[in-house]
Structure 1
Amino acid sequence: MVQTILPGQTIGIIGGGKAARLLALKAQEMGYYVGVLAKNRHYPAVRVADWWMEHRPNEPAVLLELAEKSAVLAFVAEELDMDVLSSLLPYIQLPQFSESLSITQDRLIEKVFLESLNINVLPYATITTLVDIQEAVQSIGYPCVLKPIRVEPNQPKNLFLYSEADFHKAEKLLATGACLLESWIPFEKEMAVTFIVDGNQTVTSFPIVETCHQDGVLKRTVLPAPVEADMRDAMKEIGERIARAMEIVGIVTIELFVTSAGMIYVKRISTQPHAATDYSLDLCNLSQYEALIRAITGRTVPEITCSDPSITYYVDASKMKQVVAALPEHPEWCVRFYSHTAADEAGLVGQVTVRATEVDEFFTE
């Protein structure tokens, strides 16, 4: 059970990016005070906090000081040290903490976890040398993708291998540590679905959306996801099974691949507010940020309802001026900028939501 934290008390937030800022703003709107621990005073979350601490988030003394000033801690940073977090448990509520959080920091552990739940994962192998790649591709085949096992900020990009001629490109990535070689299966659609788990382990779902990426950057989400009802039910069942098995209180987002044959594969698990669910800021009865705050403060999370159909376009800095210039001609757009001065980790500065079913050419140019 999570102890109820009522408005007027303080939520301490670990992390300083866009998600931390939006979480802080929503917490203040709900009547809470907010303190932020971030490694850079220029992070947008710091500028909206009631008070803040400039420091890296993995030092026990600093986290303990944050805990002493807060009634509950929330985190939106993925590079957290599990041992350091667990040392805080005797002193403060940390509802999002669970041993299963290590799943999201290690791609190999994530694969093993999903296999234990009888959930489809792409064929893979652990790689430490070029010889390992040569052996693995005999069963995995081409094309395949080489990824660092550890999920960390500012890590090298994933490497696609199309033939043995590409092996030499893997040396730089292997020099950073053990990697995962994963089969690349052509997919028809990418999907995402977010769940909120409260202190009673009740799971509440946001709608499934189709996600569209370009060069690894999210470009738009489509609501509702254009799939049949039985496929939608299967994806929700997979996601709910994962969310329950994680045994956390907070937020869990599942990214999925769907093939033309109707096979569903889990791409990634995230336990932070996810960009693909930012459509909830404008389309749902409560956003993912409010739902997360309700969960970690022991308050009820109601059934989530959304307006649809709609498409949310995610805007980077290169498109921002064009969007602003086009506003007089598009009163139907619902426009939201995350910060006046800072982009999020993917370089996104805002979003535009349009209640429509057809993709707008303005956002595909």
Structure 2
Amino acid sequence: MSLEFLPGSTIGILGDDMMSQYVAQVAHNMGYNVAAYSTNPDAPVLSEADYRFVETAGDLTALQNFLALSSMVTYTSSWLPAKVIDALAESRLPQGTDLLQLTDDHALGRAFAESQSLNILPYETVSSLDEVAHAAADLGYPVVVKPIFKHKHHDDTVILRGDWDLGLVAPMIDGGTLIVETWLDDVQEFAMTAVRGVTGDIKIYPLRQTTVATDHMRRAWTIGDIADDLMTVMLGVTEQVGEALQYIGAYNVAFFYSSTGNLYIRDIAAGVQETAAVYTATTNVSVAEQHVRAITGQALSDILINQAAIYMPFTTEQVPALMRHWDIQANWQIYFYRFPDTTGKAGYVLACGPSVTLLFNQLHVAGVWQFAD
């Protein structure tokens, strides 16, 4: 396969979130044509595409036509149906499908981590309520119980804090396999995004910290000061993952850091994460642009950091409060989605400046978002 993929060719893009649209915009800016496939007729990427393919009633004709038209295919999200992943086998797909499999299957993901000697939370696989009880006793409460496949019952995650909670798991017992994993209450979450090129070079974006707010939306901000040894480990793990999988394009490694000073791999995901939008305001090259550079055989750009930023998603209900700041906040970049997503997210704000601490103070008094005490 030639490493070069020159402008004028057609890139096929898979993905239903806003990151797919951003990648399509970058591809257009670089001179490529864009084909898009989705099972959702309102997927943002379709509005940016030159050629649009929408699945109807499980018919694979649209997918087959999409693949036939696309000279190269890329995905920006790890959540692809199994039939789509199978169909990609015959396509020019620089990213490959290994990371898709690891992302969706908890068991495969943990097996990969163990093969690479990466530190993960203790877990057991189970299939019955009795096995859940034994696993929880072995691991020690609290534990989290979730389906082995992330695409299956994605919202079915139960936290057990004692034997009295075992009844909460009963609706999940259907003969399939479940994961029982140690749960950490007092934990910090970090994420590193990297892009690996066709020649094996890896560019890693600045560390960001993330948290899930009360509205279940994930926020993110850049990190300035952190212990050197902790940063060294996270950088090493991120590089190791890309090399081990021989992955090309953007990928994300998320971490748990416990109050006892232990670092664990939370998950590894392919594509461009939504919280990675924070880098459009903090670095000289966005993740979407770097991703397209990688899959088309271009040299990757060195990443230069120019300021701090916080990524704050907002809902349709928060728009009136946000609009009160429209003519006030000179350091806010406000991005609206054309269509709110299934969670009600209507867009996001990037608050930018020299200090994350000062930015959080500004966001606290703005009155748009709620913050934990």
> TM-score by structure 1 length?
0.91
**Structure 1 residues 289 and 232: alpha-carbon distance in aligned structure 2, compared to 1, 3 A threshold:** same
Q: Given that residues 46 and 52 in structure 1 are in contact (C-alpha distance below 8 angstroms), is that contact kept between their aligned partners in structure 2?
A: yes
Q: Given that residues 258 and 265 in structure 1 are in contact (C-alpha distance below 8 angstroms), is that contact kept between their aligned partners in structure 2?
A: yes
Q: Measure the CA separation in 2 of the matches of 1:3 and 1:96.
A: 13
> TM-score by structure 2 length?
0.89
Task: Say yes or no: does 1:342 pair with 2:340.
Answer: yes
**Structure 1 residues 177 and 345: alpha-carbon distance in aligned structure 2, compared to 1, 3 A threshold:** farther
Task: Say yes or no: does 1:364 pair with 2:362.
Answer: no
**Structure 1 residues 216 and 253: alpha-carbon distance in aligned structure 2, compared to 1, 3 A threshold:** farther
Q: Measure the CA separation in 2 of the matches of 1:298 and 1:93.
A: 13
**Structure 1 residues 87 and 357: alpha-carbon distance in aligned structure 2, compared to 1, 3 A threshold:** closer
**Deviating more after overlay: 203-212 vs 243-252:** 243-252
Task: Say yes or no: does 1:268 pair with 2:267.
Answer: yes
TM-fit CA distance, 1:157: 2.9
SS at match of 1:191: strand
CA offset digits 1:46-89 (Å, max 9, x no partner): 11211201116987654332122122111134343567545544
Q: Measure the CA separation in 1 of the matches of 2:156 and 2:216.
A: 12
**Structure 1 residues 48 and 228: alpha-carbon distance in aligned structure 2, compared to 1, 3 A threshold:** same
**Deviating more after overlay: 318-327 vs 124-133:** 318-327
Q: Given that residues 77 and 272 in structure 2 are in contact (C-alpha distance below 8 angstroms), is that contact kept between their aligned partners in structure 1?
A: no
**Structure 1 residues 44 and 320: alpha-carbon distance in aligned structure 2, compared to 1, 3 A threshold:** same
Q: Given that residues 317 and 343 in structure 1 are in contact (C-alpha distance below 8 angstroms), is that contact kept between their aligned partners in structure 2?
A: no
**Structure 1 residues 64 and 47: alpha-carbon distance in aligned structure 2, compared to 1, 3 A threshold:** same
Q: Given that residues 313 and 345 in structure 2 are in contact (C-alpha distance below 8 angstroms), is that contact kept between their aligned partners in structure 1?
A: no
**Structure 1 residues 156 and 235: alpha-carbon distance in aligned structure 2, compared to 1, 3 A threshold:** same
Partner of 2:25: 25
TM-fit CA distance, 1:357: 2.0
**Structure 1 residues 154 and 297: alpha-carbon distance in aligned structure 2, compared to 1, 3 A threshold:** farther
Q: Measure the CA separation in 1 of the matches of 2:237 and 2:370.
A: 32
**Structure 1 residues 99 and 83: alpha-carbon distance in aligned structure 2, compared to 1, 3 A threshold:** farther
TM-fit CA distance, 1:142: 0.7
Q: Measure the CA separation in 1 of the matches of 2:270 and 2:187.
A: 25
Q: Given that residues 17 and 344 in structure 1 are in contact (C-alpha distance below 8 angstroms), is that contact kept between their aligned partners in structure 2?
A: no
Partner of 1:289: 288
Q: Given that residues 187 and 257 in structure 1 are in contact (C-alpha distance below 8 angstroms), is that contact kept between their aligned partners in structure 2?
A: no
Amino acid corresponding to residue 8 of structure 2 in structure 1: G
Partner of 2:164: 165
**Structure 1 residues 116 and 158: alpha-carbon distance in aligned structure 2, compared to 1, 3 A threshold:** same
TM-fit CA distance, 1:334: 2.0
**Structure 1 residues 123 and 100: alpha-carbon distance in aligned structure 2, compared to 1, 3 A threshold:** same
TM-fit CA distance, 1:318: 2.4
TM-fit CA distance, 1:154: 5.6
Q: Given that residues 210 and 225 in structure 1 are in contact (C-alpha distance below 8 angstroms), is that contact kept between their aligned partners in structure 2?
A: no
**Structure 1 residues 76 and 229: alpha-carbon distance in aligned structure 2, compared to 1, 3 A threshold:** same
Q: Given that residues 281 and 352 in structure 2 are in contact (C-alpha distance below 8 angstroms), is that contact kept between their aligned partners in structure 1?
A: no
Partner of 2:75: 75
Amino acid corresponding to residue 55 of structure 2 in structure 1: H
Partner of 1:195: 194
Q: Given that residues 332 and 349 in structure 2 are in contact (C-alpha distance below 8 angstroms), is that contact kept between their aligned partners in structure 1?
A: no
CA offset digits 1:284-343 (Å, max 9, x no partner): 211111111111111111111222233222222222222122121212212222x22233
Amino acid corresponding to residue 341 of structure 1 in structure 2: F
TM-fit CA distance, 1:175: 2.7
Q: Given that residues 277 and 288 in structure 1 are in contact (C-alpha distance below 8 angstroms), is that contact kept between their aligned partners in structure 2?
A: yes
CA offset digits 1:25-46 (Å, max 9, x no partner): 2211222111111112222211
**Deviating more after overlay: 249-258 vs 342-351:** 342-351
Partner of 1:211: 210
Q: Measure the CA separation in 1 of the matches of 2:57 and 2:290.
A: 24
Structure 2: runs of 5+ lacking an equivalent: none
Partner of 2:349: 351
Partner of 2:319: 320
Q: Given that residues 129 and 174 in structure 1 are in contact (C-alpha distance below 8 angstroms), is that contact kept between their aligned partners in structure 2?
A: yes
**Structure 1 residues 79 and 341: alpha-carbon distance in aligned structure 2, compared to 1, 3 A threshold:** closer
Partner of 1:249: 248
Partner of 2:38: 38
SS at match of 1:125: strand
Q: Measure the CA separation in 2 of the matches of 1:336 and 1:263.
A: 36
SS at match of 1:303: coil
Partner of 1:63: 63
**Deviating more after overlay: 46-55 vs 220-229:** 220-229
CA offset digits 1:79-116 (Å, max 9, x no partner): 435675455444x4111113343111101111111111
CA offset digits 1:128-164 (Å, max 9, x no partner): 1110012112221111100111011762331000111
Partner of 2:110: 111
SS at match of 2:356: coil
**Structure 1 residues 19 and 310: alpha-carbon distance in aligned structure 2, compared to 1, 3 A threshold:** closer
SS at match of 2:111: helix
Q: Given that residues 156 and 173 in structure 1 are in contact (C-alpha distance below 8 angstroms), is that contact kept between their aligned partners in structure 2?
A: no
**Structure 1 residues 280 and 56: alpha-carbon distance in aligned structure 2, compared to 1, 3 A threshold:** farther
Q: Measure the CA separation in 2 of the matches of 1:22 and 1:107.
A: 28
Partner of 1:184: 183
**Deviating more after overlay: 223-232 vs 30-39:** 223-232
